[in-house]
Amino acid sequence: MNLNQVTLPAVDVGPAVDFYSRLGLRLIVEDLPRYARFELPDGESTLSIERVSEATAGHGPVVYFECEDLDQTVHRLRAKGVEFDSLPLDQPWLWREARLRDPGGNTLCLYWAGRNRRYPPWRLAGESRE
């Protein structure tokens, strides 16, 4: 099984297109004002933005983008005007994370976890697939 895509809601798809383009995703489908779809720079996954009539309240999905050069990526994006809720910080779960929101209010986490993403020290016994 492979993750194909994640679809995020947005009241206004246009600003989301600009935002995700600045993050480095490549726009492959544009049907404004209703829908847009991007390819990620690495791998084969895609991200879609779909128009909704109103923003959702409360906690929604968090989309994680893995960045081997996290600190440099955050620096480059800030230079392009992307605002972050939190800058790169080492977390107790052994990931380094920076958080931000897209124009629709969806939470994004840029992170680097290396081996700990799939093989943390607390991984269940017998579940090693190395």
CA 119 to chain CA mean position, Å: 21
Spell out the domains of the chain, with CATH numbers in brackets: 5-117 (3.10.180.10)
Across 47-55, average pLDDT: 88
Q: Which residues is 63 bridged to in the sheet?
A: 108
Say what the pLDDT of residue 61 is: 80
Per-residue pLDDT, averaged over 59-75, amounts to 90
| % of the chain residues with pLDDT over 90 | 67
What pLDDT is stored for residue 59 in this prediction?
Answer: 64
Q: Is the peptide bond before 33 cis (omega within 30 degrees of 0)?
A: yes
Residue that is written with structure tokens 């994680």 in the block: 64
7-33 residue pLDDT tens: 999 999 999 999 999 999 999 999 999
Per-residue pLDDT at 125: 81
Candidates 56, 55, 52, 57; CA nearest to 34 is 52
